Amino acid sequence: PTRPRLARIGELMRRHRGWIVGAQWVILAAYLFLVITPAFLPLPDSGAHLWNNLTLFAQFAFWGIWWPFVLVSMMLMGRVWCGVMCPEGFVSEQVSRFGLGRPVPRWIKWGGWPFVAFLATTVYGQLVSVYEYPKAALLVLGGSTVAAVAVGLVYGRGKRVWCRHLCPVNGVFGLLSRLAPVHFRTDRAAWESYGAKKVIPINCAPLVDIRRMESAADCHMCGRCAGHRDAVSLAARAPGSEVAQLDAQDADRWEVRLLVFGIIGTAIGAFQWSASPWFVRAKLAAAEWLVERDAFALLGDDIPWWLLTHYPEANDVFTWLDGIMILAYIGATAQVLGGWITLWLRVAAGLLGEAAARLRLAYALIPLGGAGVFLGLSGLTVTLLAAEGVILTALPEARATLLAAATLASLGLAAVHVRRSVAPTLRRIAALLAFAAASAAAVAPWVLMYYVW
């Protein structure tokens, strides 16, 4: 029988692996050029534009296009970016071929690294203004790449140990890819019935157990395993179906923490503090309190740029107080939003009479989490375009539409999980209302930011 078109595309990726590797070398070279070169150039003057200034072009390429739309690609195509284009994963895999090849130690396999790494890079990026300045971008992005190379040189042999366990966005990508309408699927029956025929071993760089692969969270969509044992193929599925079918044993507490306190709580605080009138009032009140007591130490601004933003030539200098207030605002936002969500998810689980339902329902917030991070990152896209005279007149409506669509998607996924409960109808309705209350924490901050402030 004729193989489905998607399956043929997957096998095409396997057969033309050389083209993919060639493209990855080109992407790596462009990435290194755009990360390194602007850091050694003077900051753009007021007359600079995207098309005549490398620093502005690199800023727009990384933060205006690359990051927001990589996140979109995860929700639409799974982790194709990771397996086909990511320069960091590619170079880590390449150097590991010549490294020490040591086995992966237990401490690297700790499940909390994606959560810790995401929080650390997100908060640190705000302190050094990673989106605005090329030296900060080199420090954060380049530092991550150096770490990926170092891990590749020590652990694994032709593997992506960094990507699987330590990459700061691995957890985010894994969560978002669960929504994708395409994935590589393993047919266990076909695998088992393949028998003793000669099989060429598959090098799964991100260390996925292909035989038992059911989730798209860890698969890098590189296509190397397509057609393996006549059991692995690129296939379509209903958007969000993996989340809808999630069972209690598939839910991971660290993933839920990353989603609730990281992607929603911490990210919203990071995107929001610079526009928040609450932040401004709190900082002014703290500064006045310090001045009244002749305590000027925290108002000092002679701080290295790699610790806190320090660019006098751009009239952008953070004091110690700025740093403390940023940390406090992001931390408080994460705790308030994450705590609110956790409370209402517990209420929903209690109404359903299933403690494990709290974790399953949390995964239904993935559409709202993904939409929120996209909104935050695309804010810089809008700002950079506006500086070039490109005004997106329908922007408020587009943002409202995205938020509404993400809210409906999350409520729909929650409704699927609630319907699986054996609780009475009224309790199930109340549980869905409790989930709606939880999801408000992922919507209200964006409404405040874009339509109130």
Cβ neighbours around 174 below 10 Å, total:
23
pLDDT score of 129: 96
Token digits of residue 125: 């990026």
Token digits of residue 170: 């691995």
pLDDT score of 248: 80
78 Cβ contact list (under 8 Å, min separation 6): 177, 180, 182, 183, 216, 219, 221
Q: From CA 99, how far away is CA 200, in angstroms rounded?
A: 24
pLDDT score of 2: 52
Four-CA torsion 41, 42, 47, 49, nearest 10 degrees? 30
Token digits of residue 178: 């669960």
pLDDT score of 87: 96
What is the rounded radius of gyration, in angstroms, for the C-alpha atoms of the chain? 23
The residue among 367, 378, 366 whose CA lies nearest residue 450 is 378
Q: How many residues are present in the chain?
A: 453
Q: From CA 413, how far away is CA 353, in angstroms rounded?
A: 19
Token digits of residue 376: 């935050």
pLDDT score of 4: 85
| Cβ 231 vs Cβ 186: under 8 Å | yes
pLDDT score of 194: 84
Token digits of residue 100: 């020490």
Q: What are the pLDDT tens digits along the chain (453 aa)?
A: 456 889 999 999 999 999 999 999 999 999 999 999 999 999 999 889 999 999 999 999 999 999 999 999 999 999 999 999 999 999 999 999 999 999 999 999 999 999 999 999 999 999 999 999 999 999 999 999 999 999 999 998 999 999 999 999 999 999 999 999 999 999 999 998 887 677 778 889 999 999 999 999 999 999 999 999 999 999 999 999 999 999 888 899 999 999 999 999 999 999 999 999 999 999 999 999 999 999 999 999 999 999 999 999 999 999 999 999 999 999 999 999 999 999 999 999 999 998 889 999 999 999 999 999 999 999 999 999 998 989 888 999 999 999 999 999 999 999 999 999 999 999 999 999 999 999 999 999 999 999 998
Tens-digit pLDDT profile for residues 137-152:
999 999 999 999 999 9
Q: From CA 427, how far away is CA 204, in angstroms rounded?
A: 45
pLDDT score of 46: 84
The residue among 382, 274, 362, 356 whose CA lies nearest residue 318 is 274
| Cβ 227 vs Cβ 11: under 8 Å | yes
| Cβ 183 vs Cβ 145: under 8 Å | no
What are the b/e assignments for 378-402, b being 16+ CB within 10 Å? bbbbbebbeeeeeeeeeeeeebeeb
Cβ neighbours around 295 below 10 Å, total:
10
274 Cβ contact list (under 8 Å, min separation 6): none
